[in-house]
Amino acid sequence: MRRSGFTLIELLVALAIFAVLSLLAYGGLASVLDGSDMASARAVRLGELQRAVTRLADDLAQASARPVRDAFGDPQPALLASSDALELTRGGWRNPTGQARSSLQRVGYALEERTLVRRVWPVLDRAPDSLPLEQRLLTGVSDFSLRFRGDRAGRWESAWPPDGAGPDEARLPLAVEVALELEGFGRITRLVVTGE
């Protein structure tokens, strides 16, 4: 009487085939999981970028031609900017609790240690002890630059107010070009029409 079953060699061959198929399946699964992790990290980074650019564009779109006084009482223009820093008065500051305060707000942007920082002052005309609240908007920024369209003739300025304007300048540029150089995204440029 002959017994049915597998020989030792048949079992070893079946185990070897199963091991090879398992390694192939694991390699494919690991590749899919790595791709998923990279896509998730990129989506988070893209979300940060969109929030930062939207916040900056909203502030510029709400720009108000209201000059302010700095902590020393010196007049400052409604929008004060160099090629890599920005400070402006903006409108539209919501007041749902009805506090006795202005609907205008002073905000600023600067690049510090490869991080785009937004500052908000609690008052327009500052006292020496008026400190801004800081919000880190975006990390990994290697360059933050601005250009200003001052008139309808198409001239662009690298700073605002343009040369020859007084310190209490209330005039705003027609548009602001914002450019960010980011790790993983390259150069991103956005043109924003100002509030006035």
Task: Please report the pLDDT score of residue 1 as a whole number.
Answer: 59
Report if residue 43 sits inside a domain: no
**Burial profile 132-156: b = 16 or more Cβ within 10 angstroms, e = fewer:** beeeebbebbeebbbbbbbeeeeee
Q: Cis bond leading into 161, ω under 30°?
A: yes
- Is position 142 within any domain? yes
- β-partners of residue 139 are 115
Q: How many domains does the chain have?
A: 1
Side chain identity at 15, as an amino acid letter?
Answer: L
| CATH number of the domain within which 142 lies | 3.10.610.10
Does some domain include residue 138? Answer: yes
Residue 49 lies in a domain: no
pLDDT at residue 83, rounded to an integer: 72
Residue 72 lies in a domain: yes
Interval 37-68: pLDDT, tens: 778 888 888 899 999 999 999 999 999 988 99
Domain extent at residue 107:
57-193
Residue 90 lies in a domain: yes
User: Does residue 29 lie in a domain region?
Assistant: no
Distances (CA, A) of 60 to 17, 79, 129, 173: 64, 9, 26, 10
Per-residue pLDDT tens listing for the chain (196 residues):
567 777 888 888 888 888 888 888 888 877 877 777 778 888 888 899 999 999 999 999 999 988 998 888 888 898 998 877 899 999 877 777 777 777 889 999 999 999 999 999 988 888 888 889 999 999 999 999 999 988 777 788 888 988 766 555 668 899 999 999 998 889 999 999 986 5
pLDDT at position 180 is: 93
For residue 19, what are the CA distances in angstroms to 5, 10, 30, 187?
A: 21, 14, 16, 47
For residue 152, being part of any structural domain is answered with yes
